[in-house]
Amino acid sequence: MSAEFRIGQAVPRHQIGWSDTVLKHASRVALALAAFACFWLFVLPVIVVALSSVSTQWSGTILPAGYSLRWFERLGSPEYDALLTSLEIGFGVSAVGTILGLWLALALEGRDRRGLGAVVDALVMVPNGVPSVVLGLAVLIAYHQKPVDLSSSAAIVVLVQLALILPFCYRCAAAALRPELTVLREAAASLGAPPAMVLRRVLLPQLVPALRASLALGFALSLGELGATLTVYPPGFATVPIVVIGQVERGYYLPASALSLLMLGASLAALLLIAARVPRGKRVAS
């Protein structure tokens, strides 16, 4: 017999049917399995990397044989230069991608998606459907000779990473442009507000969460990008993923773990900075 529910009254235990009890226990088991899978797939590898970075030796045992900071001490200027390069490119690419994504979303807002708007929307999303290595090779072939030769410049890495993250930044902005914002913009314009003021005073404050999400997503994707970057990077240029791959190929797993942990800490700090809220008292009145 199904349970009878009354608003504001607790249902007695004896009125709860066996099917409801089974469903309740099944949902708990499913939640526990999902939590275990997430821990096994995502949390445990990070713990292993953290332990590897401070271990003296780790082979054939559950825990390291000893602990030391020597792998961090052995990191030199090439590793720190790669970390700085990754952070600089990540910030730059995410900022440019967020600006371009917002501009494209505003330009395509309200357009008929069966005409020019559909073509532009499809072109922006093309990098999502192309393997990153293929995209990197295409960019390298297109810009490896005059009149536009970027093959020996770090700009080619910025270009290929921007192409990869732009679809995500564009979708973040497009999803935030709700119909209510269009009504607010039209109301502000009808009151005589110029377009720049409408953008600054009406639209942008409503898009702050989406812009933060775009910055954070673009930054994280840029830091972890390897396929296209490995295809196009010029001589003497390196990001942390490239350095880590080189160390792993030579069997230097523990130094690679130390560098990876530094990058993880730097990226988490940057993401927290992006997500930080400005206190109301410190906001500048426009």
Nearest to 93 by CA among 168, 149, 24: 168
| Structural tokens at position 95 | 């900022």
- Note whether 64 and 137 are same-domain residues: no
- Note whether 46 and 158 are same-domain residues: no
Asked, for residue 286, whether it belongs to a domain, the answer is no
- Note whether 91 and 48 are same-domain residues: no
What is the pLDDT, as a whole number, of residue 6?
Answer: 52
- Note whether 92 and 221 are same-domain residues: yes
Decide: 58 and 182 in contact? Cβ < 8 Å: no
- Note whether 84 and 63 are same-domain residues: no
Q: How many domains are contained in the chain?
A: 2
CATH number of domain containing 234: 1.10.3720.10
- Band (pLDDT 50/70/90 cuts) for residue 225 is very high
Q: Rounded to two decimals, what is the model's pTM?
A: 0.80
Domain range for 87 is 77-268
- Note whether 46 and 130 are same-domain residues: no
Asked, for residue 9, whether it belongs to a domain, the answer is no
Higher pLDDT, 1 or 223: 223
- Note whether 138 and 238 are same-domain residues: yes
- Note whether 35 and 99 are same-domain residues: no
Asked, for residue 277, whether it belongs to a domain, the answer is no
Q: 3-class SS at 25? A: helix
What is the pLDDT, as a whole number, of residue 240?
Answer: 94
Handedness of CA 122, 128, 131, 133 (dihedral sign): positive
- Note whether 86 and 187 are same-domain residues: yes
pLDDT, tens only, 74-132:
888 999 999 999 999 999 999 999 999 999 988 887 666 667 778 888 888 999 889 99
What is the pLDDT, as a whole number, of residue 17?
Answer: 60
Asked, for residue 56, whether it belongs to a domain, the answer is yes
Q: Distances in Å between the alpha carbon of 269 and those of 34, 219, 220, 279?
A: 28, 12, 12, 19
Asked, for residue 142, whether it belongs to a domain, the answer is yes
Asked, for residue 133, whether it belongs to a domain, the answer is yes
Q: How far apart are CA 165 and CA 224, in angstroms?
A: 11
- Note whether 41 and 108 are same-domain residues: no
- Note whether 51 and 107 are same-domain residues: no
What is the pLDDT, as a whole number, of residue 214?
Answer: 92
- Note whether 123 and 251 are same-domain residues: yes
- Band (pLDDT 50/70/90 cuts) for residue 12 is low
What is the mean predicted confidence (pLDDT) over 48-57?
A: 88
Higher pLDDT, 4 or 201: 201
What is the pLDDT, as a whole number, of residue 100?
Answer: 95
Asked, for residue 281, whether it belongs to a domain, the answer is no
Higher pLDDT, 29 or 283: 29
pLDDT, tens only, 165-175:
999 999 998 88
Asked, for residue 186, whether it belongs to a domain, the answer is yes
* Average pLDDT of the residues of the chain: 84
pLDDT at residue 159 greater than cutoff 90: yes
Evaluate the omega torsion of the peptide bond into residue 209 and state whether it is cis, within 30 degrees of 0: no
Q: 3-class SS at 148? A: strand
Could you tell me what percent of the chain has a pLDDT over 70?
88
Nearest to 73 by CA among 254, 245, 251: 254
